């Protein structure tokens, strides 16, 4: 099957991801202003908003640390479509709250429900979409992942562009409708994908004490081997990571990359608002430029460069560009500097699809969900740690009580975490396809 035919099999997945990303990004430029207006009306700097956002991010990270491996593993048993239904449906609820009203009581209701639902939704849609694409041949998988994330980037661009011209009320209302459309489209058109076709998994309970297969012990007595638990233990996940040197190294990259991404999410927009008085439209313009550059790169350059350079080099290139981007942003001396650094997005976007493709090639088709979920769980753990470090640091250096005058100090520290991920990526090695095997930890 040629590349075009393989990619065509993912067309309904692309549409689902696009609609979900479009709805999500439509409200991102406005949420900082909504938070500031609810908590600190009339101010450009608000420590309470920074701390609350950091606390929310940490709690979401704690929830996703537990949920990502579980959802990924269950998708190996029950199919990606079945598990995609849950996060796509839950993501509608917080949007609907602020679409109705944005008073302080409704903001806190949104805050609480967003925290709870994001424990399941945050990262799980990307994780399951990447696992769904495991039917693409290994040779084309990096390109397929690049196109998938390029579609997601395109949805971010379109969502941000829509936010630029919609009022805050209209943005939340439109996002709610599009989120509902994404869930409905997925249920109607996306082909179900149950990797374990030989087992009647859809009729089994999630937690079971069944056994399958027998081995003979030394006395020729049959010894039953337990079926792997559908809800993986920490031991199962550690064993999975230890089954491949590359997976172990990928765990380190995932942690430090997640640490830097979480830090930027917790700090960067508040830094821009305090330092350069950015508003909703300026946030939207910045994300629009970065998203457009990333989309063009993923859709045009990634499929061409992946077969030539390989995933490992593209991963290192993307992480290095991210480091430089953060270091320059940390010393921004004018409002145009953050706009200029969006040029690095052309290279930064290579990192995620290359990294996920490397992980995908280390396990068999029946462990794609578990592997992607495990890596997402590690990134989620980094998202727990990140706001605990960078939110107080950002609030301190944006306040009048900073130990020295360096408002972007926290952004530079975030860049150091990305630098560690880059150094680790240089040491990553590929496991030969012939050494790939199913995880047997549960049989120990």
The pLDDT, as a whole number, for residue 356 is: 86
- Measured CA to CA, the distance from residue 31 to residue 284 in angstroms comes to 11
> Which has more pLDDT, 168 or 72?
168
Which pLDDT tens digit goes with each residue over 180-189? Answer: 999 999 999 8
The pLDDT score that the predictor gives to residue 109 is 93
pLDDT at 233 over 70: no
Q: What is the mean pLDDT of residues 402-417?
A: 90
Q: Where do we find the tokens 């706001």?
A: 387
* Exposed / middle / buried, residue 294 (Cβ in 10 Å: 0-12, 13-18, 19+): buried
What is the pTM assigned to this prediction?
Answer: 0.69
Q: What is the pLDDT of residue 226?
A: 41
Answer whether residue 216 shows pLDDT above 70: no
Residues found in the chain = 444
Q: Residue 212's pLDDT band (boundaries 50, 70, 90)?
A: very low
CA distance 166 to 161: 9
Residues 245-277 pLDDT 10s:
888 888 899 999 999 988 888 788 888 888 888
Percent of the chain's residues with pLDDT above 70? 83
Residue 441: pLDDT band with limits 50, 70, 90: low
Token pair 């408002």 is found at 407
pLDDT, residue 383, reads 78
Residue 443 pLDDT: 36
pLDDT for 96-111, tens place per residue? 999 998 888 999 999 9
Q: In this model, does residue 235 exceed pLDDT 80?
A: no
- The token pair that represents 67 in the structure block: 């949920």
293: pLDDT strictly greater than 80: yes
At 421 the pLDDT is: 93
Distance CA 398, CA 267 (A): 10
At 15 the pLDDT is: 92
Question: Taking a C-beta distance cutoff of 8 angstroms, is the pair 338, 329 a contact?
Answer: yes
Alpha-carbon gap, residue 375 to 371, rounded angstroms: 6
Residue bearing the bigger pLDDT, 20 or 148: 20
Q: Which domains does the chain have, with CATH numbers?
A: 1-193 (1.20.1250.20), 232-431 (1.20.1250.20)
Q: What 3 state SS string does the chain have?
A: CCHHHHHHCCHHHHHHHHHHHHHHHHHHHHHHHHHHHHHCCCCCCCHHHHHHHHHHHHHHHHHHHHHHHHHHHHHHHHCHHHHHHHHHHHCHHHHHHHHHCCCHHHHHHHHHHHHHHHHHHCCHHHHHHHHHHHHCCHHHHHHHHHHHHHHHHHHHHHHHHHHHHCCHHHHHHHHHHHHHHHHHHHHHHCCCCCCCCCCCHHHCCCCCCCEEEEEECCCCCEEEEECCCCCCCHHHHHHHHHCCHHHHHHHHHHHHHHHHHHHHHHHHHHHHHHHHCCCHHHHHHHHHHHHHHHHHHHHHHHHHHHHHHCHHHHHHHHHHHHHHHHHHHHCCCCCHHHHHHHHHHHHHCCHHHHHHHHHHCCCCHHHHHHHHHHHHHHHHHHHHHHHHHHHHHHHHHHCCCCCCCCCCHHHHHHHHHHHHHHHHHHCCCCCCHHHCCCCCHHHC
pLDDT at 319 over 90: yes
Q: Say whether pLDDT at 21 is over 50.
A: yes
C-alpha to C-alpha distance for 374 and 127, rounded to whole angstroms: 10
Greater model confidence, 430 or 232: 232
Kindly indicate the confidence band of residue 287, based on its pLDDT and cuts at 50, 70 and 90. confident
Q: Which residues contact 91 (CB under 8 A, 6 or more apart)?
A: 20, 23, 24, 117, 121, 125, 179
At 326, the pLDDT band (50, 70, 90 cuts) reads: very high
Structure-model confidence comparison of residues 353 and 7, the more confident one? 353
Q: How far is CA 145 from CA 60, 139, 373, 444, in A?
A: 25, 11, 16, 34
pLDDT at 197 over 80: no
pLDDT at res. 125: 83
When mean pLDDT is compared over 34-38, 120-124, 237-241, 409-413, the highest value belongs to 409-413
Q: Which two structure tokens, joined as six digits, stand for 154?
A: 């395109």
d(CA 105, CA 48): 16
């Amino acid at each position: 099957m040629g590349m075009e035919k393989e990619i065509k099999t993912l067309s309904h997945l692309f549409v689902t991801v696009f609609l979900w990303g479009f709805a999500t990004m439509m409200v991102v430029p406005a949420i900082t202003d909504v938070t500031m207006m609810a908590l600190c009306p009339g101010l450009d700097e608000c420590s309470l908003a920074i701390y609350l956002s950091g606390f929310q991010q940490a709690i979401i990270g704690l929830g996703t640390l537990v949920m990502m491996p579980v959802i990924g593993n269950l998708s190996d048993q029950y199919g990606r479509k079945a598990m995609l239904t849950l996060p796509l449906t839950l993501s509608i609820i917080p949007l609907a709250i602020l679409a109705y009203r944005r008073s302080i009581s409704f903001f806190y209701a949104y805050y609480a429900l967003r925290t709870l639902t994001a424990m399941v939704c945050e990262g799980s849609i990307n994780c399951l979409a990447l696992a769904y694409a495991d039917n693409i041949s290994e040779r084309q998988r990096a390109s397929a992942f690049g196109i998938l994330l390029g579609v997601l980037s395109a949805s971010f661009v379109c969502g941000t562009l829509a936010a630029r011209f919609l009022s805050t009320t209209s943005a939340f209302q439109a996002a709610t409708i599009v989120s509902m459309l994404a869930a409905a489209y997925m249920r109607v058109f996306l082909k179900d994908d149950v990797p374990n076709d030989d087992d009647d998994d859809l009729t089994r309970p999630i937690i079971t004490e069944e056994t399958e297969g027998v081995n003979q012990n030394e006395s020729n007595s049959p010894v039953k081997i337990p079926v792997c638990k559908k809800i993986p233990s920490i031991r199962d996940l550690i064993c999975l990571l230890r089954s491949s040197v590359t997976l172990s190294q990928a765990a380190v990259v995932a942690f430090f990359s997640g640490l830097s991404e979480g830090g930027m999410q917790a700090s960067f927009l508040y830094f821009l608002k305090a330092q350069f008085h950015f508003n909703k439209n300026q946030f939207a313009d910045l994300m629009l430029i970065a998203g457009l550059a990333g989309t063009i790169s993923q859709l045009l350059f990634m499929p061409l460069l992946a077969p030539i350079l390989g995933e490992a080099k593209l991963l290192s290139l993307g992480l290095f560009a991210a480091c430089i981007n953060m270091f320059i942003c940390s010393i921004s001396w004018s409002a145009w500097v953050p706009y200029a650094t969006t040029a690095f997005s052309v290279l930064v976007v290579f990192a995620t699809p290359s990294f996920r493709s490397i992980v995908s090639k280390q396990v068999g088709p029946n462990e794609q969900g578990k592997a992607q979920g495990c890596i997402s769980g590690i990134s989620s753990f980094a998202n727990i740690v990140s706001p605990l470090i960078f939110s107080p640091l950002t609030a301190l250096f944006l306040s009048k009580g900073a130990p020295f005058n360096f408002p972007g100090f926290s952004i530079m520290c975030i860049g150091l975490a990305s630098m560690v991920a880059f150094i680790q990526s240089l040491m990553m090695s590929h496991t030969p396809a012939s050494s790939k095997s199913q995880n047997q930890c549960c049989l120990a």
